[in-house]
Amino acid sequence: MTSIGLVLVVLVLLIAAAAVIGGVVVLVVRLTKPKPPIHPAAGWYPDPNNPGSMRYFDGRVWSQPVRPPE
């Protein structure tokens, strides 16, 4: 094998190794990123503290006022 061929083989191996390492880094970052909390959609839901009423959830927090169920 000529020296140019050897240089090309080494270059290809280095590029392949860099691609594998980069892929592993991306995978680790994606797997360790904290997931956002899953909340129910905004709307009226049965009040767990008072089964005879409904409480509104705005997507982040529950409302103070309640209403009777429909």
- Kindly report, residue by residue over 11-52, the tens digit of the pLDDT: 999 999 999 999 999 999 999 888 887 888 999 999 888 888
Are 47 and 55 in contact by the 8 Å Cβ rule? The answer is yes
Q: What is the pTM of this model?
A: 0.47
Question: Per-residue confidence at 1, pLDDT binned at 50, 70, 90?
Answer: low
d(CA 44, CA 69): 9
d(CA 7, CA 10): 5
Tell me which of 6 and 40 has the higher pLDDT.
6
Confidence at residue 27, expressed as pLDDT on a 0 to 100 scale: 94
